Amino acid sequence: MAVRAHDDPAAGVPDRGVEAGGGPAPRIAQQPDARVAPGDPGIANQLARFLLTCPKPDLRDTVNALAIIARVNEVTHNLTRLDFPEYLETLALAYIENAQLGGGRNVEMLGQAYDVIRKAIDSASAQKRQDLLPRLREMKTQVEGWLKQAN
């Protein structure tokens, strides 16, 4: 069942309950279709990115963002046998943001981010996506630095 704004006037409005991601989550992120089986991977990618980077902390939800973008990558890869570097970039960002929950840096999550970034760089290179490569390489360098600090 797809969520449509006219079905529920509160869709997209923050729920006032506290979620595991460190604050209230937009109601749309709590809907099963958005979280488990997005009908449009581009929109789901944008939703995940919004949940990760929103300038209003009370709208951020890194845990749900990770669930959404992980599912997007799984579904698109299974359907097309391709990896979409922009979706992998969002997945890496989700791992990075979740690695920082609780004030520290979760080395296991950073390792997952690093693996995803390498995969995104390979995919972007194969697809000649010069628009993404500089950002991905910068992310890789930053995560490498964090991993070195942790060891």
Rg for the chain, CA atoms, rounded: 16
Amino acid at 134: P
Taking residues 136-150, what's their average pLDDT?
95
pLDDT band at 7 (very low <50, low <70, confident <90, very high): very low
Degrees to nearest 5, angle at CA 124 with 55 and 111: 65
Of all residues in the chain, the percent with pLDDT exceeding 90 is 62
Whether the predicted pLDDT of 19 surpasses 60:
no
pTM of the predicted model as reported, rounded to 2 decimal places: 0.74
pLDDT at site 88: 97
Q: Crossing angle, helix 133-150 and helix 107-126, to 10 degrees?
A: 160
Q: Which long-range contacts (CB under 8 A, 24 or more apart) does 48-54 make?
A: 48/72, 48/90, 48/94, 49/90, 49/93, 51/21, 51/25, 51/26, 52/90, 52/93, 52/94, 52/97, 53/93
